[in-house]
Chains A and B, each alone.
Chain A
C-alpha cells in the first residue's frame, strides 16, 4: 500500500523555499477537515469539499451507484471503486506539496525536536518524513543511516518502533483510511493526530525498555 520512493542519502542541512512552508501549512489545513463546514470560498480549502460526492440515483429513496444492501465481493468491488477518486485527489495534492518543498519544510521543523521526543538524532529527519509516506523508503533510509554509523543500534531500534506502528501513515490514512472519512464523527485530523501521538508514545516505550530493561549495549 505504499508508493515506492527512491532511497536518497542523508542531507542534514536542507534549504527550504518559503513556498515549502506555505505548501505545508496548506496541506495541514486542507486535510485537517477544520474548514469543512466553512461558508463560501474558505470551504475550497477542505479535502472533503473538493472531493465532492457521487450523484444519487433517483429511486424511491435516492442512493449512489453503490446501491443499498449489497454484500460480498460485488459490494466490496463497488465500494472500493467509490474510494478511488479520494485516493487520487489526496495523492495528487501530496505530490504537489512535496514538489513545492512542503516535506522539506516538515523535515526542517522536525529535526530539532527528534532528540528530545524520540531519542534519535536530527539527522534522521529525512528518513522520518519519508517513512510517513512510504514504509519501504523509511526502512531503506534507516538501514543506510545505521550502515553509515550515524545512528547507533539502539537509536535504530527505537526509530523502527516509531515506524512500525502505523507504517506510512500519511499515505495509508489518505488512501485506505479515506474510505471511512465520510463516516467519522470527528474532523479527519483528530484520528491522524492521535496516530502520531501514539507512534511517539510507542517509540518511547521501546526507548524505556532498551534503557531500563535491556541496559547492555545492543
Chain B
C-alpha cells in the first residue's frame, strides 16, 4: 500500500466504481425502467398514481412517486432508476426528485439489509418491526423537511 502512487490508488477506486456500475447499478436501473414500462403500458401506473395522490400530496409529490419509494425499499438502485425514469417521462420535476432523494436512501434496500446487516450483526428478531418502522419514518420525515429546501 505504501508503494502505490496516488494515481494507482485513484485507478483502483475508479475500477471499483466501474464494477459497481456494471454489476449493480446497470442491472438495477434496467429493471426499474422495465418495471415502469410494464406499469405504464398496462395503465397500472396511472391507477397507482391516482390512488396515492392524496397521500403523496402531503409531501408535495404526485401519486406516481409512490413507485419510487416502493422500489427503493427493495433496492436503492431500483428506486433511483424509477425516479430517473419518471423524471425523463416528465412525471417528476426537479423539486420532486430533490424531495425524494434522501428518502430513497433512508428506507432503501431494507430487504437486502435485513440479511446483510441485521442478520450478520445478530440483532434480535423481535426488534425487526421497529427497525423497519424507524427507517420508513426517517424517510417520511426527510421528505417533509426537503419540501422546504426543494
Contact surface of A with B, Cβ cutoff 8 Å: 1, 3, 70-73, 75-77, 79-81, 83-84, 87-96, 99-100, 135-136, 138-140, 142-143, 146, 153, 156-157, 160-161, 163-167, 169, 171-173, 175-177, 179-180, 183-186, 190-192, 194-195, 198-199, 201-202, 205-206, 209, 218
- Quick one: closest A residue to B134, CB to CB? A202
Taking a contact as CB atoms under 8 Å apart, the answer to whether B29 and A79 are in contact is yes
Interface membership of B47, Cβ < 8 A: no
Pick the contact of A87 from B21, B113, B120, B150 — CB < 8 Å? Answer: B21
- Quick one: closest A residue to B79, CB to CB? A176
Pick the contact of A93 from B10, B28, B31, B37 — CB < 8 Å? Answer: B10
- Shortest 8 CB-CB contacts between residues of A and residues of B: A95-B13, A76-B33, A91-B17, A88-B17, A139-B120, A92-B14, A72-B37, A84-B21
- Quick one: closest B residue to A147, CB to CB? B122
Min Cβ gap B44→A in Å is 15
Taking a contact as CB atoms under 8 Å apart, the answer to whether B105 and A172 are in contact is yes
Taking a contact as CB atoms under 8 Å apart, the answer to whether B109 and A198 are in contact is no
Interface membership of B48, Cβ < 8 A: no
Taking a contact as CB atoms under 8 Å apart, the answer to whether A202 and B135 are in contact is yes
Interface membership of B42, Cβ < 8 A: no
Contact surface of B with A, Cβ cutoff 8 Å: 1, 4, 6, 9-18, 20-22, 24-26, 28-34, 37, 40, 75-77, 80-81, 83-85, 87-89, 94-95, 97-98, 101-102, 104-110, 113, 116-118, 120-124, 127, 130-131, 134-135, 137-139, 141-142, 145-146, 149-150
Q: Which residues of B contact A209 (CB under 8 A)?
A: 130
Min Cβ gap B2→A in Å is 10
Taking a contact as CB atoms under 8 Å apart, the answer to whether A184 and B14 are in contact is no
Taking a contact as CB atoms under 8 Å apart, the answer to whether B120 and A96 are in contact is no
Min Cβ gap B22→A in Å is 7
Pick the contact of A175 from B4, B20, B104 — CB < 8 Å? Answer: B20
Q: How far is the CA of A94 from the CA of B17 in the complex (A)?
A: 10
Q: How far is the CA of A177 from the CA of B150 in the complex (A)?
A: 16
Tell whether A87 pairs with B146 under 8 Å between CB atoms, given A73-B33, A167-B108. no
Taking a contact as CB atoms under 8 Å apart, the answer to whether A202 and B137 are in contact is yes
Taking a contact as CB atoms under 8 Å apart, the answer to whether B4 and A191 are in contact is no
Min Cβ gap A198→B in Å is 4
Q: Which residues of A contact B94 (CB under 8 A)?
A: 183-185
Q: Which residues of B contact A165 (CB under 8 A)?
A: 106-107, 134-135, 138-139
